[in-house]
Amino acid sequence: MASVSRPGSGPRSGPGVEVSAPVRVDLAGGTLDLWPLYCLHPGSMTVNAALAAAVRVRLVPGGAPRGAITLSSPGSAPRRLVPGDAGRELAAAVVFHLRPEGALAVEVTEQPPVGSGLGASSAFAVALARGCLALAGRRLAPARLVPLLRDLESRVLAAPAGVQDYLPALLGGVLAVHLEPGGERVERVAADHTWLASRLLVVYSGLAHRSGMVNWEVYRARIDGDAGVARGLDRIAAAAADCRRALLGRDEAAVGRAVAVDWRARRELAPSVTNPALDALLAAGTAAGALAGKACGAGGGGSVAFWVAPERRGAVRAAALAAAPGAFEVPGGLSGRGATVRAGRATMAAARG
């Protein structure tokens, strides 16, 4: 049906799509997915898992004029973006690359806090891409979509971006991302999700972070030949391999040791990886019985993951929440599914000049 404009109203937009893309928790091996760091540390891998928590967006064609998109999210006024915003706004970068004409309303209906350390920006990029492709009746395999989104996000960050965050959002499940010359190889780790979820506690600290800048410090130091950073990344690579083996063997204690080794090595990579408030939160959880704890993603804030025996989970949760004002548990467990797309309802979207 053709759109009809009336005074005081925008054009009626057609049915769109609703997309959900899970965020992730990384257990070991983060940062190594930045090129060329994994080339310098053979055998590198990242072990992560998709969470039930997700970024959810609704895309409605006709919800903005041609050459523009509107972006709205909970608690924020709608904004209009144009192709010139693609260098600083991830939504503009992804949408205008895949749908150059724009003419799209993007409504974020659910998302983790900004700076959560759970790969939310990459999950957002995946949701946008899957939605734009669905509207066009197209699909791109992960082997093509991941490098595209990595490059678009790197442009926005003005810093290198890795690949690990896009894969759980696209594929779901527990993954070992083997970082090899020529491209990553993704292994679905045959870990029991119920067993893993009962031992994994993810808590948002209330401290936002900027993962691109934290990773940039580490990246620059390694490329500049910092021997201490090189040794730390070697230990992180070894911890990730140990974590994978322990998950496959359902070895609770060994997973805890691997997570602990990863965090000890990571916190020595750069001063911005941790801070007193983050250290206090992790110390409270381990004192209450967690086998290990670490900051998620690049560190510096965001969320923390505790590996804990099921019988100590309640005590660790209570201690962690008490240690950090504004902290809360990231609920929902794990997700075995990656991004999903379904037809959305028709909406009214203003197209103000």
For 72-113, how does the pLDDT look when each residue is reduced to its tens digit (9 = 90+)?
998 888 999 999 999 999 999 999 999 999 999 999 999 988
- Is 12 among the domain residues? no
Count: domains in the chain:
2
pLDDT one-digit tens code per residue, 135-186 = 999 999 999 999 999 999 999 999 889 999 999 999 999 999 999 999 999 9
What gap in Å lies between CA 117 and CA 79, rounded to an integer? 25
On whether both 69 and 176 belong to a single domain, the answer is yes
Say whether both 220 and 251 belong to one domain: yes
> Could you tell me if residue 223 is inside a domain?
yes
pLDDT confidence of 348, banded at 50, 70, 90? very low
Distance CA 262, CA 28 (A): 6
Q: Are residues 150 and 199 in the same domain?
A: no
Task: Mark whether 301 and 320 lie in a shared domain.
Answer: yes
Q: Is residue 215 part of a domain?
A: yes
User: Are 235 and 310 found together in one domain?
Assistant: yes
Burial of 310 (0-12, 13-18, 19+ CB in 10 A): exposed
- If asked whether residues 178 and 201 sit together in one domain, one would say no
**Which domain range does residue 246 map to?**
191-329
What's the CA angle centered on 347, arms 73 and 5, to 5 degrees? 115
Shared-domain flag, residues 289 and 209: yes
Q: Do 25 and 169 belong to one domain?
A: yes
Contact 186, 177 (CB under 8 A): yes
- Average pLDDT for 50-60: 97
**Position 1 in a domain:** no
Q: Mean pLDDT: which of 93-107, 194-208, 294-308 is highest? A: 93-107
- Report which of 32, 34, 47, 46 is spatially closest to residue 234, judged by C-alpha positions: 32
* CATH code for position 178: 3.30.230.10
* CATH code where residue 235 lies: 3.30.70.890
Specify the pLDDT at position 210: 67
Say yes or no: 27 and 176 in one domain. yes
Q: How many CA atoms lie within 13 A of 192 on its CB side?
A: 8
Q: Which of 191, 178, 161, 159 is nearest to 50 (CA)?
A: 191
Same domain, 171 and 79: yes
Q: 102-110 and 68-73 as β-strands: parallel, antiparallel, unpaired?
A: parallel
Classified as helix, coil or strand, 350 is coil
Query: Dihedrals φ, ψ of 303, to 5°?
Result: -105, 160
